[in-house]
Amino acid sequence: MKRSIYLLSVAFLMLFIVSCKKTDNPSPVSEDGLENLQIPDGFLFESTKEITVSIILPTSVALESGGQRVSIYSDLPENGGKLLYAAAYPASGELLLKLKIPRSSKVIYVETFAGRLLVDIAASSQKVGGVEIDFNDDMGFDPPSIAADEKNSRIEESSFNQVSNSKSQSDRIIVNLIENGDFSQDDFGLINDWPSPMSADGKWYITSTLGANHAKQHQQAGETFLRITRSPYRYGGVAQLVAASAGDLITLSSDIKITGNNNNISWLFLIARNASGQSIGFYSLETSGQSNSWRSRTLAATMPFGTTHVQVLLWNHIYGGAIDYDNVVVTGPVSDSDGDGVDDELDDYPNDPERAFNVFYPNSEDYGTLAFEDLWPGKGDYDFNDLVLDYQFKQVLNGSNHLVEFYLDYSVRAIGAELENGFGIAIPGTDPNNVAMISGQQLTESYINLMANGLESGQQEAVVILFDNAFSMIDAPASGFGVNTSPEAPYAEPQWNQLYLLFDNPVSVQLTGFAPFNPFLIVNKERGREVHLPGNVPTNLYDPAWFGQWFDDSNPATAKYYQSETNLPWAIDLPTKFDYPIEKVEITSAYLNFGDWAESGGLLFEDWYENLAGYRNSELIYDVD
């Protein structure tokens, strides 16, 4: 045993000498370097966090088979928010999702048929176990109310200032059952009050309590909308009748702006009516208080037995100022061409019953970066540029929110070493025999053994080897050592590649976990020498003799993996494209807040990698220009 350890040590020393032959660089080494940091036990250098989001449908909705879409963005789309996740509501009406987002994220934007909401995900706003969104808030099931003491009441008009705000616009093609929802047509009728008989003629009818003088088309700053002002009776509304049937899921959404009086109240009403015109169900959503800006509100309800029509009512109690409405949209049943339970307009694959939603990581537009040190279990120089790999996952889910397949776009951007390293991904909880096919692998060496489906053989879970020699993935310059890490060396243009994996049977995303799953580097074609992200377990083909050697302090008994005695890692994963340090520059010298982030256990400078004032020394970061 002593002889084997001795031979291993000698072999590693020789490898260390060879692999450290990097181009000399006069860049300074930080006096407060990584080795002097006091990193708390258990800190895994994660720049992301996992949150649980519970989304509860209003009790006015009954889903027989689920299938209604939920989309989650990193922010409001008009503020640059990017799609993170999409899923279908189950028939139970409560959707429980787990998301992986940057630690620095403060909000998510949730878009559903039952409403849209910008959610503060700061710790103080979360319930125990995560974020809960309950669309039952402000819901009502009673008819429009008219207080008796208001009927003959008079109040003075309040003064108010208009604030011009842009209104929400959906990028989805939606069939609107309402006509003149933008009030571009100045064509209104009159009815005595909301219970009055109406025709389904596409016309808005104003209740007599308001009268045409206090509910009319209004134009401002080039926009046309409906304005409600105080009538002598302080209440009233406008209504339109559309056809509907029992069991139909009807949604009513509108942009609403309340100005001039904090006591003003608006209600969106859906009133189910039978063949005799009688009211048989009331569903309402209240909006109150002076906002001085447009707010998008949505009401959703399943129509009760006996429904033949539904009355859409914009009801108001107005004490002064104005209540404005625009972009009124009413939706009803739409087609599901592929029969997967997801409506065509909500389905990313409306003609494919096996696929429904695209889920992206880190999001629909950006790329993440994996950055490795390859001298493990020896101590590296911690410039995190021995292998720099950019990636973006597109996972395809079916109508039951199970993973059908995924696409991985990736590019080797830098190789700051002469070792011929490979790269793979282990997918937790997946049976290797449940993978139908893989395409896009780049295997040029002879040390990887594959199953017929393209997975690595000898593994208990699905392991994909993307490439077995990083130098085959980029056109490296003939001269110089390393690729794209030394400013004085020629630049090599990275190449984009795509890996595709298809499952025989869709798998639960609860089993696979989050992309990028469990990525790892294979050092210098030695298959058993794997380098994983800190805390991640090795595959079945790792060589345990490397654990605990030299600088490594991995201990499976305590679930400590791929960290040193002082808890330093050999790999980091960033939810954005990482601007890595130049050759031989320790990361703490290039990124001035990295040390504080690590010593705080991730609590300080969660966005340490961003290009913000005081965050980096740009001269020590590799720049193509």
Q: What is the DSSP string of 106-122?
A: -EEEEEETTEEEEEE-S
Q: Which two tokens stand for residue 459?
A: 């593994």
Residue 359 domain-assigned?
no
Residue 87 domain-assigned?
no
What is the model's pLDDT at position 481?
A: 65
Give me the number of domains the chain comprises. 2
Q: pLDDT by residue (tens digit) across 269-305?
A: 999 999 999 999 999 999 988 888 899 899 999 999 9
What is the model's pLDDT at position 120?
A: 87
| C-alpha closest to that of 562 among 423, 377, 383, 421 | 377
- Whether the per-residue pLDDT at 248 is higher than 70: the answer is yes
Same domain, yes or no: 607 and 551: yes
Q: Which two tokens stand for residue 401?
A: 């929110």
Mean pLDDT of the chain, nearest integer: 87
For residue 151, the 8-state DSSP code is: T
- Categorize the per-residue pLDDT at 24 as very low, low, confident or very high, splitting at 50, 70 and 90: very low
Residue 84 domain-assigned?
no
- Categorize the per-residue pLDDT at 175 as very low, low, confident or very high, splitting at 50, 70 and 90: confident
Question: What percent of the chain has pLDDT above 70?
Answer: 88
- Whether the per-residue pLDDT at 222 is higher than 50: the answer is yes
Domain region containing 232:
140-158+166-331
- 3-state SS of 292-350 is CCCEEEEEEEECCCCCCEEEEEEEEECCCCEEEEEEEEEECCCCCCCCCCCCHHHCCCC
What is the model's pLDDT at position 253?
A: 94
- At position 92, the amino acid (one-letter code) is S
Same domain, yes or no: 464 and 527: yes
Average of per-residue pLDDT across 192-209: 94
Same domain, yes or no: 416 and 272: no
Same domain, yes or no: 315 and 392: no
Residue 122 domain-assigned?
no
Same domain, yes or no: 287 and 375: no
- Whether the per-residue pLDDT at 182 is higher than 90: the answer is yes
Domain's final residue, options 305, 331, 357: 331
Domain's final residue, options 331, 348, 382: 331
Same domain, yes or no: 243 and 299: yes
CATH of the domain at 214: 2.60.120.260
- Categorize the per-residue pLDDT at 89 as very low, low, confident or very high, splitting at 50, 70 and 90: confident
What is the model's pLDDT at position 162?
A: 23
Same domain, yes or no: 252 and 389: no
What is the model's pLDDT at position 289?
A: 83
CA atoms within 13 A on the CB side of 112: 26
Same domain, yes or no: 375 and 464: yes
Residue 146 domain-assigned?
yes
What is the model's pLDDT at position 113?
A: 86
- Categorize the per-residue pLDDT at 509 as very low, low, confident or very high, splitting at 50, 70 and 90: confident
Counting every residue written for the chain, the total comes to 625
Q: pLDDT by residue (tens digit) across 532-588?
A: 999 999 999 999 999 999 999 999 999 999 999 999 999 999 999 999 999 999 999
Same domain, yes or no: 428 and 560: yes
| Model confidence, pTM | 0.83
Same domain, yes or no: 317 and 430: no
- Whether the per-residue pLDDT at 324 is higher than 70: the answer is yes
Q: pLDDT by residue (tens digit) across 601-621?
A: 999 999 999 999 999 999 999
What is the model's pLDDT at position 618?
A: 96
What is the model's pLDDT at position 476?
A: 73
Domain's final residue, options 276, 304, 331: 331
Residue 507 domain-assigned?
yes
What is the model's pLDDT at position 512?
A: 83
> What separation in angstroms does the CA of 143 have from each of 146, 198, 258, 272, 470?
9, 17, 22, 11, 68
DSSP-derived secondary structure for 351-370: T-TT--EEEEES-SS--EEE
What is the model's pLDDT at position 173?
A: 56
Same domain, yes or no: 511 and 601: yes
**Residue 3 burial (10 A CB sphere; 0-12, 13-18, 19+):** exposed
Specify the 3-state DSSP secondary structure of 236. Answer: strand
Residue 126 domain-assigned?
no
Q: Give backbone dihedrals phi and psi of 149, rounded to 5 degrees, phi first.
A: -75, 0
What is the model's pLDDT at position 22?
A: 37
Average of per-residue pLDDT across 52-69: 84
Residue 302 domain-assigned?
yes
Q: pLDDT by residue (tens digit) across 93-119?
A: 888 988 999 999 999 999 888 888 888
Same domain, yes or no: 371 and 313: no
Q: pLDDT by residue (tens digit) across 143-173?
A: 998 754 443 332 233 222 222 233 444 445 5
Lowest mean pLDDT of 185-189, 198-202, 416-420, 466-470, name the range: 416-420
What is the model's pLDDT at position 14?
A: 42
- Categorize the per-residue pLDDT at 65 as very low, low, confident or very high, splitting at 50, 70 and 90: low
